[in-house]
Structure 1
Amino acid sequence: MMATTHAFMGMALALPVLATAPELAPPAFVAGLVGGVAPDLDLYAGHRKTLHYPVYAPIAAVLALVLAVLVPSASTIVLAVALAAAALHAATDAVGGGLELRPWRAGSERAVYSHYHGRWIRPRRWIRYDGAPEDLALAGFAAVPVIIAGDGPLTVLTAALLAVSVVYVLFRKHLATAAERLAAFAPAPLHPYLPERYRGA
């Protein structure tokens, strides 16, 4: 899925906070955004493995949620939303496409790595690839309530990210070719740091 889709889903997790403790909603929305995109910081270092925990992250999120219910405060609520967003990110990567430069070809059987099982979880391809039309539909489904419920900077940021998502979807398949060509021009010392899928995919 697109990074923006993960961000919107993470932010949507903060909507109950807005309804029950509106004074804590701003940091909760930020926590959802950060938690939603944070797992993808491993893009160039073991993508969907290093920072993705489809089994352990949900357990941590449940424990954090229990703590937030028992000891409600800005810090416990922010922690719960952030961990829930990160857990949702890892779990939903399993229903998307495989880990490859052109996932619409359905050639990879690696969706997300489970550290608990010690193996890769295969892609379900309910959302065929990041930037697919159904990915944009899910992004919109998660973003619209945030846009409606939010105000000021939150609404502007979410709407802007949704617009970026639309552009990404329009050019998704062309971007794969562009990335491959740019990788070919990378200096030799950088080659070990490039994702394998960028090298002659």
Structure 2
Amino acid sequence: MGRTKGRADGQATAPRPSREELEACVGRGIPPVIAPGLRILMCGINPGLYSAWTGHHFARPGNRFWPALHRSGLTPRLLAPAEQGELLEHGLGITNVVNRATATAAELSITELREGGERLAEEVRTYAPAWLAVLGITAYRAAFAEPRAALGPQERTLGSTRVWVLPNPSGLNAHFQLPELAEKFGELRAAAARD
């Protein structure tokens, strides 16, 4: 699996994949972290190649999902992507709109996003989380044919599940820095706590 790079202090850092290893991950999926009756099911757009390589959601260095989750109070400590299974202990889970790894989400077609929205709606009806949090307004608008949707709570429900749209935590999303992301995640935490 990838090269291990040494630091100046002699300690090893996390292994890094080669270009070939990342390219081999195109199209690979990541199983959801899900169970019946979660408080919040977080939903990414689709796995990036680095996440597919590790097998963990939001694993790419620089992705702000895990820090925003912790800073918002949704987790009591900062979890590493490899600890994603611990989310279930906190009533949280993770899935994706489209479970096909790409270099960027821009590679997904509108058809894939719509089909992913239909599959996601079915998954949500099966597991019945209290809230579905879609991480990315553009993906939500495309997947659910809601071109005027804004961040925050939505009028749409999926069975008994309420829907909330959060900003995409990717490091490529320059519109929201970590403090703003944590604040948005915290708004959802507060709403879920009131239920």
The two structures have a TM-score, normalised by structure 2, of: 0.29
- Greater share of strand: 2
* Structure number with bigger Rg: 1
